[in-house]
Structure 1
């Protein structure tokens, strides 16, 4: 029997090739981190940055809490990245609970620190506002306004958010797409999507964006599953394919196997996106390097010496 199997392998070697073995390494990656709250989390963040930096990401973004709750920590993290690494940081900025003057001062501080890339977001409202966005009386009412204000102040490179499965607060898919176009027309260079698990949803969204006259890059946001229950809570209107649910059945209390399955599942998602023409991927790392590094390895992204 063994001889028969070996004969079949010899006759058809392509049938035994890894689905990742033919990737030529032409993929660009970027990573998202969040500012740490504790000393332990700070150590975890910088360990993750150190592990992922050799993959030479196009940029790394640092998030910003609702109502500016992490404003100082975000600035401290971004400034340290500028000082101590060769990475290109992108600082998140939101419209929430801040006047145009306050946002302008923050933008000036980033520019003076050497930061040239901003991720401009409307932002999630703080719980005290009942989950409803209320513009600051002297602030920006939308991400599109924020983009225009930042571009008028400094020549920032600006990324904005996109939602393949529609923002939960959007009046309609068409309205959501119009909002994305306004942000890009205001001066944004690219969009980064909310995480998703359906390649069909992403490619349908790209088709609709092109039909609406949007030709800027729209990077897929990739979030490997670290905790499936948490992913369900965060998903909102994001489709979770039944096949993905099945993959994680019985792994709630098995973090090791769950992490392995998550890396392979995320790599499979990226491979299907790659087959559809995608070459740029943005990873939501949750300040952990292992799964993101494993996915990049599967996609042919290799560390560069002296990165």
Structure 2
């Protein structure tokens, strides 16, 4: 009973990186000029530990500059000026993570970029689906809940958890101004995420280090070697199994070399062979 319960969690575990990491190349920061790699988060040594005053100061500058830049650039887009807000409200929460809690897994580029795209697609899809109903106004809250819950599930399975993305999905359904954007919300979110990430790479790397990693904290090169070793191990096991099969037919019992059987086991196989002959 204990062994079956201890093995059950692995049966319900899904790790998307097991399938994706073999396609993700190792970061090339060691082979490009160090000043450029520096602003991509690469360090030759351990970064200095900064006090909270420095961290707070740079977070203030980063949040302010990124949101102002987002507003100015988005407001130049006619579709945004005519149908929606120049800023998606969830970027305020995203800015806290990207410029203050920069060591958090939720703040890394994979999370803060892809999560927002997934959230906008799911949010607009749910909005379009529920707006087909004549009672959209009365069930809009249900669509928002579904959009947020679906986004959390997708982020969990794709390892792109980023809390503000849940708000993006919710806003896409319940906010009138955002609803007016329709599918244009998706490129607007891509633009906003790109701007915020670009500002973060510049400001966060002046006295700190960002990102800690781009795709995963695991060693991509090492994971690829491990995958090759696993494949080789599987092939070896198959080869061994092909040469260690005991074959029992009506005419004979074939025992391959290297397989040691007791006399009692051999008698059982011989009896099975005779049983087949009598059928």
Same fold per TM (> 0.5)? no
**Structure having the higher Rg:** 2
Relative to the length of structure 1, the TM-score reads 0.21
User: 1 or 2, which has the higher strand percentage?
Assistant: 1
